[in-house]
Structure 1
Amino acid sequence: MLEDFWKGLGGKFAERWLTALFSPAFAFWAGGFLAWLYGQGWSTVERLGWLGALRQWTADARGLPFLAQALLVVGLLIVLTLSGLLLQHLSRPTLRLLEGYWPPRATSVREWSRRRLSDRADGAATRLRVLLAVPPDTRSAVETAELGRLRGSYQQVPPRPAQRMPTRLGNVLRAAELRPGSRYGLDAVTCWPRLWLLLPKDSRQEVAAARTGLYLSVQSWLCALVFTVFVVWAWWAPVVGLAVAWVTYYTRMLAAARTYGTLIEACFDVHRGLLYSALNWPRPANPRAEYAAGQRISAYLSTGSRQTSPTFIDPPPTMTVLPS
């Protein structure tokens, strides 16, 4: 029985290590170890080379008692696990910060950044209208490529300046958040938690995977930013950290936000009828009626209603209150 216990424990440790090896926390601590080597243990590397230094450290670790080796492995796993848990805890507030939800003290900076991005978006929209006015058969290859790029960027910015955020990431997510309201009258902030409970399993898995990808990019960005503290050992730590943070933001994070926002829009496009059915709300007959019905549903879910309309479909049976 003890043998089976140790086998199972070893399998769980191997699974934990495999998960930890592909986490932002592992990359952070591995980079910190290299920075420490540069500042403290570089003489050993210069004397023996990388392979020789690794052999020596490995031999030193093998020379430790079995209990010490076990404690070393467990300690490293605990550090990685706790670091991962801390990153998960910080993912949401960090994402909100990157979206542009800044404290009141930063109002002036927020407005300056929002106006700058808003002016750029308005200029791109003007250029897009000019290109759309050109007949398709007379557009050059350069104009066609520019038209495709501007169409994509136009979808990533809220239509009204007052709705725009001071960061590109915030605009991407805000634009996706506003589109269900502009199309169907459904306020995404109010309706999304309810719709999420009704989604089919496959749809929930796709959205959850996209959300996980977005949070992983946020964690990678945060680790890269904090990596700059290793400047105490290596002068190049801030350069590497800021470069990785910049690349992560403009490649992984924005792409993950676009994917996540697109999937949320798709859920409203395809499954919004589930919300009507779950609320026993009559289905609208046409898009114009649907927009008005969506607004009423959003208000109903947000503040409730005491009105006698609309009449529910298949209303639940009346509950009888028994005397106490």
Structure 2
Amino acid sequence: MNAFLAELGKQLVTRWTVALMLPGALFAAAVVLAHVLGHQHAVDLRILPVWFAGLAGGRGGPLLIAAAAFLLGAAAAGLTAQSVGVFVSWTWSLTGSVPVLRRLADRRRRRWERADAEVVAAERALLADTGDPTVRNRAHQAIARRTAICLVEPARPTWVGDRLHAADVRVHRSYGIDLAAVWPRLWLLLPAEARGELTAVQDRCASAARLAGWGVLYVALGAFWWPALAVGLAALLIARYRARLAVSVYADLVEAAVDLYGRELAVQLGLSCPDRFTREIGEQLTAIVRKDGVVPHARRARSAEPSPPRT
């Protein structure tokens, strides 16, 4: 137990240093630059040696206080960025329940409906079988445009939220499973390798959200030192890309976990499943884990169901 606690302490210290303290030190340095240079001398680094010489020219007290303030500022910036990252990840589960979010969700839905109409038109052209190779290319492009918006009809104000929601909808359509209720039991049944893959992707999702937190801090600092604004905007764009990539992989892995281990969970809960995992068995499985005997699709519309939970 002592060895385990010692190793755990090392891991926590390492994660704190890498994920928070080092970026926090960079942000604290940017704050110092903003204070010393400002907008007027934003890139004039010749001022820094003069400022530092003035700080270190007197007694050691001011320099020690400045060093302590720098370290405390770095730690505070790390905690703030982490908190903003938690808020960013929370926004991924928002629904269109308020007017602003509803308008965003409706806008995404209208885009998807237009793309879906193009897919339908392209499929009709394929059925006509004119022999024109461009018809098939247009069909592939139309499907790709619709998929880029969402795999199913959008119901969330953000792409990330809809990608998580799509996994829930697709699993329900295939197996009749309420994924939010079944997932904790399925997680306990997954082998260590599968849980390790899912955990690694969850860490990448958290890292992308934390990077968005740093981006917000740098954008705010841009009000006092304009180079920080450029850094913040770049961080937000990178965070957006990394979040989409990580969430897409996570949703695919969740669906794969249901495909590969859903039948095993049904057997573990006493259901007869001699062949493939069917929708009827999935609905029975949902009724068991929900413990209310209500099949999800009979109780509520799928557009109102939550996204797959994070373990």
The two structures have a TM-score, normalised by structure 2, of 0.71
Distance 1:262 1:84, change over 3 A: farther
Q: Distance in 2 between matches of 1:19 and 1:299?
A: 41
- State whether residues 36 and 234 of structure 1, in contact with CA within 8 Å, keep that contact through their aligned partners in structure 2: no
1:153 aligns with 2:148: yes
Distance 1:64 1:39, change over 3 A: closer
Distance 1:210 1:192, change over 3 A: same
Q: Distance in 2 between matches of 1:95 and 1:39?
A: 31
1:301 aligns with 2:289: yes
* Structure 2 counterpart SS, 1:23: helix
Residues 217-296 of structure 1 mapped to structure 2, 5 A cutoff: 217-249=208-240, 251-283=241-273, 285=275, 290-296=278-284
- State whether residues 40 and 233 of structure 1, in contact with CA within 8 Å, keep that contact through their aligned partners in structure 2: no
* Structure 1 counterpart SS, 2:222: helix
Query: 2:290 is aligned with what amino acid?
Result: S
Distance 1:108 1:232, change over 3 A: closer
- For the aligned residue pairs, the C-alpha RMSD in angstroms reads 4.1
> Equivalent residue for 2:91?
97
Question: Structure 1, residues 235-291: CA drift from partner, whole Å, max 9, x if none?
Answer: 343454244313421x1111111011001001001111221132122216456xx21
| Counterpart pick for 2:101 among 107, 110, 113 | 110
Q: What percent of counterpart residues are identical?
A: 20
- State whether residues 181 and 286 of structure 2, in contact with CA within 8 Å, keep that contact through their aligned partners in structure 1: yes
Q: Distance in 2 between matches of 1:136 and 1:271?
A: 44
> Equivalent residue for 1:143?
138
Residues 13-162 of structure 1 mapped to structure 2, 5 A cutoff: 16=13, 19=15, 22-23=18-19, 26-27=22-23, 29-40=25-36, 46=44, 48=46, 76=71, 84=78, 88=82, 91-101=85-95, 107-132=98-123, 133-134=125-126, 135=129, 138-140=132-134, 143=138, 146-147=141-142, 149-150=144-145, 152-153=147-148, 156-159=150-153
> Equivalent residue for 1:322?
none
> Equivalent residue for 2:307?
none
* Structure 1 counterpart SS, 2:103: helix
Distance 1:197 1:228, change over 3 A: same
Distance 1:47 1:245, change over 3 A: closer
| Counterpart pick for 1:170 among 158, 161, 168 | 161
Query: 2:120 is aligned with what amino acid?
Result: R
1:182 aligns with 2:177: no
- State whether residues 99 and 168 of structure 1, in contact with CA within 8 Å, keep that contact through their aligned partners in structure 2: no
C-alpha deviation, 1:138, in angstroms: 2.8
